[in-house]
């Protein structure tokens, strides 16, 4: 295309200055817009396409794509400002973006920090959502097609290639029109479906690349060459993000999130999980600082996750000059203690009209209303009302009775012996104030009732040796009806094989870390899975659980998003069980003993 360099277009409006790059179908030039005195990029079809017998068809599609792209007004999509044909050749005019591609930034050995990489991918994901809503697929998302604007944290998706529009017609050289490592398997097929999951794969592969500074294994080779997870290449990466990448890069389109939005939600959950780890520390810091009325220190805490030591270091110089501020923590703790006592009084008010019980705790002296404390029945009542919220106050209540055993309290004892006993049932109506605490005990009672299936499975888990062979690194969920040969092909030989319910064969897989156990009940006649189960430890992150569960729900007709919300509630201890059903299947989520989360789906005809 050297013959086009220096060419003027549109009556001198544009001049092609130099070639920027060339792909399977298009070639781009840096050009000058003389009327506006601006640098622009002009793209056209390359020489090989221009010589193709179906060039007229390609030209029409190129112009159709340019018109549709011109409708996009999005900060992370390159803007198309003009398109035209001259001398039978179509041209597309786009903004020139000063900066460098993510490919130039990362390769060969400069992987991006996880937070930065996710930020870039979320920007490109939002751009792809707009593209898909308008009926287009990018089909060539990769680090080399993402520009980082110079001096900013903004990335822009460029080079909306037309390869997928034309690839089906290039039967001899179709592999040259895909980007190995970023193109999913369906892009290698002449009649592969064009769906949003195609761009999901490419976007996930792009995240893989910028996190590891390694190009992913080609989808066409993954049946022979396994793809290492990002965390295996970069151990400092979070398991949740690594799992999201691997799910987005599932070889089969049906195993990936169906839309960009669904996959971005996995990343959002992963990043939210990372921040949740630090939230309790910040909240504690905030509450302490509020009680001390020192707003400046609170600001420091929220500005820096490691501000605990920094606030101490800031306090030391001030305390050396004056000792007053050094007493603030002590006053703060006293204030907190008084506040907790006041809360306790309010809780006791509806039960006993003895609000003065509060005063003896901070200043135990001559108050006779404290006489219930020496009584053994009232002492037993206090822990039943506030077992978890005020454990530190339980030793305080027996401490006051020692000084308050006067005979004045004795006359009241005959009146109380019958009343304190009936008062024990009273706490039962009161627990509505803390339903999560009181509802936990009943749930284990429901477990034997709900699935008769989980009960016999629990004893099998301890039978797996701690150093069992054939453990797996990544747990994967498979749907009802899949052939067991496909599971074994993906995961290898099971960790254990045993007899299952209903004359089935149970394939059991355990992860290396022993935190996840998969169990697939297979019909011995058909070789198909009739029931899929998984046992998660509480420490397994939500994203990993969601990835396995989504695999088990594929094609079921069950509302995956709703099931995942219920799974999240169980994981966060907001509930202990959930039942659901889809097309020809039923499922349950249970919190079972041993602090495990049990998920199962089975064929409704499976008895």
Mean pLDDT of the chain: 72
Helix (H) or strand (E) holding 394: none
Residue 224 has pLDDT above 50, yes or no: yes
Mean pLDDT in residue range 325-337: 56
Q: The tokens 């509450």 sit on which residue?
A: 287
In this prediction, residue 392 carries a pLDDT of 35
Q: Which residue has the tokens 């453990």?
A: 471
Q: Please state, in angstroms and as integers, the Cα–Cα distance from residue 522 to each residue in 162, 304, 387, 484, following that order.
A: 45, 52, 47, 7
Burial of 496 (0-12, 13-18, 19+ CB in 10 A): buried
DSSP element (H, E) containing 360: none
Helix (H) or strand (E) holding 287: helix 279-292
Largest CA distance in the chain: 113
Confidence class for position 332, pLDDT limits 50, 70, 90? low
Identify which has the larger pLDDT, 167 or 517. 517
Which residue(s) pair with 581 in the sheet? 586
**Tens digits of residue pLDDT in 533-558:** 999 999 888 767 877 887 787 655 55
> Helix or strand or coil: residue 354?
coil
Q: Name the DSSP class of 386.
A: S
- Give the pLDDT mean for 424-436: 45
Tell me which of 1.10.510.10, 3.30.499.10, 1.10.10.10, 3.40.30.10 is the CATH number of domain 101-276.
1.10.510.10
Question: Looking at the predicted structure, is the pLDDT value of residue 109 above 60?
Answer: yes
Q: Which two tokens stand for residue 165?
A: 């529009």
The tokens 């703790």 sit on which residue? Answer: 333
Quick check: 318 pLDDT over 50? no
User: What are 443-456's pLDDT values in tens digits?
Assistant: 443 433 434 444 33
Q: Three-state secondary structure along 513-572?
A: CCCEEEEEEECCCCCEEEEEEEEEECCCCHHHHHHHHHHHHCCCCCCHHHHHHHHHHHHC
Q: What secondary structure does DSSP assign to 461-477, as a single string?
A: GGGS-TT-SS-BSS---
Residue spans of the domains in the chain: they are 2-95, 101-276, 334-439, 451-603
Q: The sheet that has 14-22: what strands, in order across it? A: 8-9, 14-22, 26-33, 38-45, 89-95, 80-86
Residue 259 has pLDDT above 70, yes or no: yes
Alpha-carbon torsion (496, 499, 503, 508), positive or negative:
negative
Residue 161 pLDDT grade (very low, low, confident, very high; cuts 50, 70, 90): low
Taking the domain 2-95, which CATH number applies? 3.30.200.20
Query: How far is Cα 273 from Cα 422, in angstroms, rounded to an integer?
Result: 46
Mean pLDDT check: name the lowest of 35-39, 350-354, 519-523. Answer: 350-354
2-11, 106-115, 268-277: the lowest-pLDDT one: 268-277
Q: How confident is the model at residue 125 (pLDDT cuts 50, 70, 90)?
A: very high
pLDDT band at 160 (very low <50, low <70, confident <90, very high): confident
Residue among 38, 32, 25, 27 at smallest CA distance from 2: 27
65 pLDDT exceeds 70?
yes
The dihedrals phi and psi of 244, each to the nearest 5 degrees, come to: -65, -40
Q: Per the omega criterion (within 30 degrees of 0), is the bond before 584 cis?
A: no
Q: How far is CA 105 from the centre of its chain?
A: 26
Q: Which residues touch 281 (CB under 8 Å, ≥6 apart)?
A: 305, 308
More confident residue, 279 or 96: 96
- Rounded CA-CA distance 205/103 in Å is 13
Asked if residue 291 has pLDDT above 50, the reply is no
Separation CA 508–CA 500 (nearest Å): 10
Task: Please tell me the predicted confidence (pLDDT) of residue 557.
Answer: 53
Residue of 61 and 591 predicted with greater confidence: 591
Q: What strands, in cross-sheet order, belong to the sheet with 146-149?
A: 99-101, 146-149, 155-157
Q: What's the mean pLDDT in 392-396?
A: 36
Name the more confident of 372 and 92: 92
Task: Return the pLDDT at 19.
Answer: 92
pLDDT for residue 1 is more than 70: no
Q: Which phi and psi angles does 80 have, rounded to 5°?
A: -95, 120
Q: Which residues make Cβ contacts (< 8 Å) with residue 586, sequence separation at least 6?
A: 579, 580, 601, 602, 604
Give the pLDDT mean for 502-521.
90
**Predicted TM-score of the model (pTM):** 0.46
In the chain, % of residues over pLDDT 90: 32
Choose the weakest-confidence range: 14-23, 24-33, 61-70, 532-541: 61-70
Q: How distant is the alpha carbon of residue 25 from its chain centre?
A: 37
Tell me the C-alpha distance between 120 and 102, whole Å.
9
């Amino acid at each position: 295309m050297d013959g086009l360099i220096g060419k003027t277009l549109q009556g001198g409006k544009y001049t092609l200055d130099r070639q920027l790059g060339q792909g399977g179908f298009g070639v781009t030039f840096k050009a000058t817009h003389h009327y506006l005195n601006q640098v622009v990029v002009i793209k056209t079809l390359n020489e090989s396409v221009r010589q193709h017998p179906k060039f007229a068809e390609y030209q029409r599609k190129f112009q159709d794509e340019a018109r549709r792209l011109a409708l996009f007004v999005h900060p992370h999509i390159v803007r198309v400002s003009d398109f035209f044909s001259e001398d039978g050749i179509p041209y597309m005019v786009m903004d020139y973006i000063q900066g460098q591609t993510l490919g130039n930034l990362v390769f060969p050995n400069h992987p991006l920090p996880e937070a930065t990489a996710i930020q870039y991918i979320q920007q490109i994901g939002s751009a792809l959502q707009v593209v898909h809503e308008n009926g287009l697929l990018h089909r060539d998302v990769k680090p080399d097609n993402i520009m980082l604007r110079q001096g900013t944290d903004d990335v822009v998706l460029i080079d909306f290639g037309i390869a997928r529009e034309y690839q089906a017609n290039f039967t001899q050289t179709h592999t040259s029109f895909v980007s190995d490592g970023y193109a999913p398997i369906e892009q290698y097929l002449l009649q592969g479906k064009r769906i949003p999951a195609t761009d999901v794969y490419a976007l996930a592969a792009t995240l893989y690349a910028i996190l590891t500074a390694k190009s992913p294994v080609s989808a066409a080779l993954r049946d022979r060459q396994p793809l290492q997870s990002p965390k295996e290449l970069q151990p400092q990466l979070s398991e949740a993000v690594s799992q999201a990448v691997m799910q987005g890069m599932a070889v089969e389109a049906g195993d990936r999130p169906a839309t960009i939005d669904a996959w971005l939600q996995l990343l959002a959950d992963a990043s939210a999980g990372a921040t949740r780890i630090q939230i309790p520390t910040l909240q504690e810091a905030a509450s302490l600082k509020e009680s001390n009325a020192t707003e400046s220190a609170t600001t420091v805490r929220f500005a820096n996750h490691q501000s605990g030591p920094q606030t101490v270091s800031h306090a030391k110089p001030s305390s050396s000059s004056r000792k007053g501020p050094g007493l603030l923590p002590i006053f703060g703790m006293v204030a907190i203690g008084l506040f907790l006592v006041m809360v306790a009084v309010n809780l006791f008010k509806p039960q006993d009209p003895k609000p003065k019980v509060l005063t003896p705790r901070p200043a135990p002296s001559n108050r006779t209303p404290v006489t219930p404390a020496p009584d053994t029945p009232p002492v037993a009542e206090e822990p039943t009302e506030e077992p978890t919220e005020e454990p530190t106050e339980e030793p305080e209540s027996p401490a006051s009775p020692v000084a308050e055993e006067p005979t004045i309290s004795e006359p009241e004892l005959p009146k109380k012996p019958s009343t304190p006993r009936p008062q024990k049932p009273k706490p039962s109506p009161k627990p509505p104030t803390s339903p999560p605490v009181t509802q936990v005990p009943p749930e284990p009672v429901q477990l034997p009732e709900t699935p008769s299936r989980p009960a016999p499975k629990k004893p099998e888990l301890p039978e797996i040796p701690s150093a069992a062979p054939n453990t797996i690194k990544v747990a994967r969920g498979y749907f009802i009806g899949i052939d067991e040969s496909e599971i074994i092909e993906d995961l290898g030989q099971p960790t254990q094989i045993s007899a299952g319910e209903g004359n089935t064969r149970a394939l059991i897989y355990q992860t290396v870390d022993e935190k996840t156990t998969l169990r697939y009940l297979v019909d011995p006649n058909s070789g198909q899975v009739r029931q899929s189960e998984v046992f998660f430890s509480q420490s397994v992150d939500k994203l990993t659980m969601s990835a396995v569960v989504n695999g088990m729900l594929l094609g079921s007709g069950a509302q995956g998003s709703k099931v995942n919300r219920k799974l999240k509630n169980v994981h966060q201890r907001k509930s202990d069980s959930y039942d659901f059903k889809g097309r020809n299947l039923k499922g349950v989520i249970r919190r079972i003993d041993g602090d495990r989360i049990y998920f199962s789906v089975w064929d409704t005809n499976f008895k």
